[in-house]
Chains A and B, each alone.
Chain A
Amino acid sequence: MSAPSAVPDVPLAPRLLPAGSYAGRARMLLLRSATASRRTWLAFVSGFFEPIFYLLAMGQGLGSLVGELPGPGGASLSYAAFIAPGLLAASAMNGAVFDSTYNVFFKLRYARLYDAMLATPLGPIDIALGEIGWALLRGGLYATGFLSVMAAFGLIASPWALLALPAALVVAFAFGAIGMAATSFMRSWQDFDLVTLAVLPMFLFATTFYPLSVYPRWLQLVVECLPLYHAVELMRALTTGAVHLGLLSHLGYFAVMIAVGVVLASRRLDALLLK
């Protein structure tokens, strides 16, 4: 534990952010969120069941009509085994987006929580990393739960699936970072319709429920730009065991999302709160 006045000088992004933006204590925000969530555990639990309901309704119900689908490695897959990794990716996205948009907006505009934090040695980067980190943990927790359910239903075909958990954390981190950056631009609750407008079509069309090959080429190109597409492809490769080096490109996509999101969110917090 560091002494109270020892504030490390860690210029994480010296050119992008002013000095003193980072005290290296983002984990204190995780502690705060964990403490606060003890009173709101119900909302927490509901996010866990949502993808399971989808899996039951579509995987088992619809799956009995669809039959088998070609998996990423070429081998055929049951419909449930096909959509399960998609739902895994989507639940990581949803958990992170919810936390980093609605919850952050409330704290930013109504509770003035970040103003209170900035009166301490904490800086905007601590806040951005702490809040995104919480979104990540939440997404990771959902992913763990869902992976266990997948295992129980026999929908995991490869030990590579163990890596789906860290992959889900990366996906949640990326969506949390972009979500928080986007939230800093929102002026009213109406703007959240835009979040739904971005997230829902992605959930439905970014190869969660059927392979990319159903689209004409030009539409495939559009879908390939969407972040959830990369998350779904990554998860599907891991849970089916069709692992190849090309998967690193998905990780590269998320690394860019994370960098852009964290820097943008920190800068916006700085501009909004330290004026």
Chain B
Amino acid sequence: MISAIAEYRGVIVGTIFIALIVGLIAAWIYGRKIIRTEKTDAVFGNPERALGGWYWVFAGVASILLIWFYFSWDAARSFFPDAANELCQVAKVESAMNPVRSTFPIQSRLLKGTSLLARDNLQLDLLDKRLLRSKFTDDEKATYGAAVGKLRAALTSLALPANFSEQTANDIQSIADRIDAVTASLADPNFPGQAEPAEQAAAQAQAGWGESSTEVPIKPTSDRGRKFDQVAKEISTIAKDFSKVRNLSDDFKATVAELNAEIKTLQQEVTDSALEADEKESRVKFIRQIGKLTKRIDDGTVFPPSALDPVEGAVRRFEAEKSNQKGGLNYIDALAMPAGTIVAGNTACSEQGSGRWLPKPSDTLGTLVRISNPDVGFKGIPLLWYEQKPVAEMVGFFIPDWVADLVPGEYPRHQEDGQINENLKTRVLNVATGNFPSITVPVPMGHIWDSILRVLAGLFLGIILGVPLGLFMGLSRFAKGFFDPLIELYRPVPPLAWAPLILTIFGIQDDGKIFLLFMVAFAIMVISARTGATGTQLSKIHAAHSLGASRRQIIKEVILPNSLPEILTGIRISIGVCWGTLVAAEMLAGTTGIGFVENVARKQSDYEIIWVTIILLGVLGLLFDLIMRWIITRTIPWRGKG
């Protein structure tokens, strides 16, 4: 059944999406109508008007879901299932064209040559200034200054059209022509012709968008896709050739060679001179700086101002035609895939932006269903399942082993024939260690169960020890004074601050976590039980006294029930805080639990699992709270009515 649902995922998501939009609008209109009828008689600020209404609840939920469907691109995938594959091909073109396009002021502000010139001139200016401030001799300043001047002249000469070679101009024109040819084939409706059957089959065999780990299928499946794919390949070779075009005249090469030789001699002179070591160093550094700048300009990437105009024109024509050929894809990219787009890598295309880190609702649900399967689980452990456990093991867990030591007699020693005779002591030990045959019973297990069990264990210990101490503190001046500093010393520290210490002392397995949760619950339970006890009306205690109740009976029959509302509220708060602390503690260490799952998913950047754990944690937290609220209304109906 699940695979059938997966097959119709697109249809289901689309239907839900449209239903949500319609429902949202309907709820909105209905809600507005009700508000309008109320307007005549209601006063602004009348709290009854803030009671809400199911239609506004629906509108709120629908809005959240719609935002989720929209920004995770689940809606886009449902309505335009092929768009991602085509955008992937477009993305290939983008990345192929990028080195060429970035030369021109198309997406950047300046022509690349302009910004190179500006940057290098700035560096040369800085060198001049450093020379002025330096403690070099006037002779040295003159020599070094001349070298810097020569470098500047060489740089400037690149921009001069007179130094631009015919050969380079021809190369540039040929690149422009080739781009124009690609533009023409892009515009050609018959390009690139029929697909090879093998190629087509391979493309069809790919997993669909989001169906496997490669998020977007990379091989083109549509005619338009194949066109972009082909164009991307051609552009990529053109771009490679374009990057080889350099503005290098013989004059320029000679000047650079001269400069390099001069720098070498200058360096040698300094090394051979009788200067102090630090004086030598400052001079060598300066000369090395000139050398660096020389290297930067000697590849001739600066051209005369209009030398590259043919290529720029061709690129602009290409971009226009590309946008034209994309057609509806432009709108799908901008509107249906908000906050991001599809990008191409070397081996795969992937979503980038909110589509990446916000998993699609349908995928999230799918992942949840997948890892809920006990045979899959996470890291070999089911989320929530059961296992058959021998009763003996549980008995052994609850009976401490030292019980056997208390039995009179001695443990038997083996005999000369190697036999070991059992006696009463060994039999008791067998029971205490769970070492006896027994039936097996199903016991819950799994990540979720482990987390819940830890919270319940910590909470249980906190209640068992915290409530009596809290009541004692509420009844005795000594207890209040004596234990208050103890509790106030550790309570204000955020529980997680204790975690590293506790986990080191008690171990990263359950003990440490349960103790940490116990600490959290204990403080809350002590404080709430104390508040409850001190809040007992004196007249009730007086009444109990004159009705013949003993101290113990007063505690049990009056103070405890009277504190019950505070105690239950304390439990409710404890569960919430424990839940939060537990997940964080499981992230720090351990091998099971929801927090562990989320931590592993975080390391693997598996956003779907991360969201699944977030949702699970929220639902379980809410469930705990609802159960506590139900218990509270059931057990203390008198609350606030006494």
Indicate whether A and B interact. Answer: no
Chain B residues with a Cβ under 8 A of chain A: none
